[in-house]
Amino acid sequence: MKLALSCGPLALVLAACCGVERPTYLAVPEQIFREPVAAPIDLEDAAGWPAARDRLVAFLRAGGNQDNVEDGTIVVLDAATRYAPLLDAVARPENRDVEDLAAGVYAPWLAGPPVRHVVDARDEAPGRDRHVLFDGDFAWVFTASRRRLVGLTVVRRHDWRREE
Amino acid sequence: MALHDDLLDALRTVANVHLVARLVDERLGCPDPDDLRVFVPDLHLVSDAVRRRYSYNTNHTDLLADVLYQIAALRSRRGTDQTLSVYQLGDCFDLWREEPLPDRRTDAADRVFDSHERLMEVMLSRGVKTRFLLGNHDIDLHRWPNYRAWSRRYYIQPKQAAQPTLLALHGDVFDWIENLLPDEVQQLVVYVTHPMLEGSDYDLGDMVKVVARGHEGADYSKRIQGNASVGPVQALDGAPLPESFNVKRFGGSKKSTQHFAAARDLAKDLRRRHAGLDLRCIVIGHTHNARIVVPKSDGDDFFALVDCGAWIETCSAKVGSKTVRMPNAQLGVIGENDVRIYQLAPKGTA
């Protein structure tokens, strides 16, 4: 069993590096699979970040399902420690230029290059302000304004990552 | 009145209820009387057309729908500080009996859904918010968006617990542990327990292949797991319930304690790997054999395997001095450090 569980990260690395189709667009899922469920987290609101971060961790721990958040149902047991370095990086203003997404600032945790096509039925019309990186079952949707990353929504992916 | 009593009253408005097994133990780690988890085991639903080909099928689907409507009503009346959650333990659909070709199984799932509209609507309703596990008979569902939230495991952190104390799995992983070569098992167990691996991961292909291999040569024409023996059952007639009822001890009959050692070892390994995790109970379906199993003696490290049974095939139960064969229709319920398995039958039947 020890060996079995230690194989997990290796499997993830393999999944991230080879043999997996890169998604070309993101379909934004239903409300219960989004955090926040409505407008993106305001990344420029430093005072609001700790609470937003706590909600994000709870959502990730719940496997990206708000129903699970509600009643303590957990899918990603170690979400708090697993995502701590990524969330620390997101919190730093120097990491929030749009160029940072393609430059590999988030590469240790999120797969790129960023996807720009986002289908969200709540939009009035297609937009170009979102940049999406991927992490297993989650898509990290950054919203940009004047080349700065100003918002973040994390959603559970609904696509199945097929072997090429 | 405690939430469990409310649930029992609701169940009894639509069903005759017997107690199959009960264990009360503070080491279960779910002390709050206002936190109740209900587990619906294997249904193996198929479409109307396929149902006609088999001598056995899902039992009492209308009753189960009635039960879930009662739970929805109870959930709508509950206080804001009360939790009443429903989990389906996998094999909700039986795609292996429904459709031999994997690529056609999304249509097959829709056919099954359409044949059981009332049941599926209430299961998926926002009133019940059922959480689903993928079983070995419906693992293919992970490919499609509507089923992407179905998981391979749920850790459950009840109120007042600092960490998760329960783990719900379908249970097929324990077949692999007991039957496959060690290397293969080690790889596959990762898919069930690793926090970041889900049904959507492409390398789950290996697991799907093993699941497929498990079905190869299987003859489901007359049975999946066959008749189970659950031992004595007790009618709920208002008399006080014993705190321990029909709990199996590991080391007893092989069939009634099946998977206990593998489940106990998995829990032990997870506790070792995750600091603070005090996982003492694993809840499964899969075997269609409702039972609660604990260690051989009270002095051993506490662990409980709760197998919630099924809603397909039959079980033999001792009712008084008679042995009666009845359609499996069981629910597992856990709350207030009290785990019970109930056998249900439509009103007006035995």
B162 interfacial to chain A (CB closer than 8 Å): no
Contact B320, B23 (CB under 8 A): no
Sign of the C-alpha dihedral, residues B150, B151, B153, B158? negative
DSSP type of residue A163: B
What is the pLDDT, as a whole number, of residue A21?
Answer: 62
- Closest to B201 measured CA to CA, from A68, A54, A159, A47: A159
Q: Across the interface, which of B195, B200, B274 has its CB nearest the CB of A160? A: B200
pTM score, two decimals?
0.91
Contact B316, B11 (CB under 8 A): no
**Per-residue model confidence as pLDDT tens digits over B129-143:** 999 999 989 988 877
CB-CB neighbours of A145 under 10 Å: 11
Q: Is there a contact between A8 and B155 if contact means CB atoms under 8 Å apart?
A: no
How far apart are alpha carbons B116 and B123 in whole angstroms? 11
Q: For residue B194, list chain A residues with Cβ-Cβ distance below 8 A.
A: 5, 8, 11
What's the rounded mean pLDDT across residues B264-292?
Answer: 93
Contact A61, A72 (CB under 8 A): no
Q: For residue A110, list chain B residues with Cβ-Cβ distance below 8 A.
A: none
- Closest to B70 measured CA to CA, from B1, B14, B19: B14
How far apart are alpha carbons B338 and B336 in whole angstroms? 5
Q: For residue B266, list chain A residues with Cβ-Cβ distance below 8 A.
A: 1
Question: Residue B172 pLDDT > 80, yes or no?
Answer: yes
* Site of tokens 């989650």: A138
What is the pLDDT, as a whole number, of residue A164?
Answer: 28
Residue B71 token pair: 């739970």
Burial A23-44 (b: 16+ CB within 10 A, else e): beebbbbeebbbbbeeebbbbe
Could you tell me the strand order of the sheet in which A73-74 lies? A73-74, B153-156, B166-169, B281-284, B304-307, B291-294, B247-249
Question: Residue B192 pLDDT > 70, yes or no?
Answer: no
Closest approach of chain A CAs to the CA of B67, in angstroms?
21
* Site of tokens 């002095």: B299
**Per-residue model confidence as pLDDT tens digits over B88-112:** 999 999 998 898 777 777 788 899 9
Closest approach of chain A CAs to the CA of B141, in angstroms?
10
A81 interfacial to chain B (CB closer than 8 Å): no
Q: For residue B202, list chain A residues with Cβ-Cβ distance below 8 A.
A: 15, 19-20, 161-163
Assign B217 a pLDDT band (cuts: 50, 70, 90): confident
Q: Is there a contact between A4 and B164 if contact means CB atoms under 8 Å apart?
A: no
B82 interfacial to chain A (CB closer than 8 Å): no
**H or E stretch at B74:** helix B61-77
B194 interfacial to chain A (CB closer than 8 Å): yes
- Closest to B67 measured CA to CA, from B3, B27, B10: B10
What is the pLDDT, as a whole number, of residue A22?
Answer: 73
Residue B72 token pair: 């929805």
Q: Across the interface, which of A7, A68, A136 has its CB nearest the CB of B187? A: A7
Closest approach of chain A CAs to the CA of B75, in angstroms?
13
Question: Residue B204 pLDDT > 60, yes or no?
Answer: no
DSSP string of A73-111, one letter each residue: EES-TTHHHHHHHHHHHHH-GGG-BHHHHHTTTTTTTSE
- The single-letter code of the amino acid at B306 is V
Q: Across the interface, which of A3, A74, A156 has its CB nearest the CB of B154? A: A74
CA atoms within a 13 Å half-sphere pointing along the CA-CB vector of B116: 30
A113 cis-preceded (ω within 30 degrees of 0): yes
Q: For residue A75, list chain B residues with Cβ-Cβ distance below 8 A.
A: 151, 153-155, 195, 198
Chunked mean pLDDT (size 10), chain A, 164 residues: 39 43 87 96 98 98 96 93 96 97 95 94 93 92 98 90 44
Residue B217 token pair: 């040569």
How far apart are alpha carbons B123 and B59 in whole angstroms? 16
Q: Is there a contact between A72 and B83 if contact means CB atoms under 8 Å apart?
A: yes
**H or E stretch at B316:** strand B314-319
Residue B25 token pair: 């133990």
What is the pLDDT, as a whole number, of residue B252?
Answer: 81
Return the percentage of chain B with pLDDT > 70, whole number: 90
Which of the residue ranges A22-31, B59-68, B152-161 has the most confident prediction, judged by mean pLDDT? Answer: B59-68
Question: Residue B184 pLDDT > 90, yes or no?
Answer: no
Question: Residue B238 pLDDT > 80, yes or no?
Answer: no
SS3 assignment, position A61 = helix
B202 interfacial to chain A (CB closer than 8 Å): yes
B180 interfacial to chain A (CB closer than 8 Å): no
A31 interfacial to chain B (CB closer than 8 Å): no
Assign B202 a pLDDT band (cuts: 50, 70, 90): very low
What is the pLDDT, as a whole number, of residue B68?
Answer: 98
- Look up the ipTM and state it: 0.90
- Closest to B136 measured CA to CA, from B298, B284, B305, B262: B284
Q: For residue A27, list chain B residues with Cβ-Cβ distance below 8 A.
A: 145
* Packing angle of the helix pair B105-115, B117-124 (nearest 10 deg): 100
Q: Is there a contact between B164 and A72 if contact means CB atoms under 8 Å apart?
A: yes
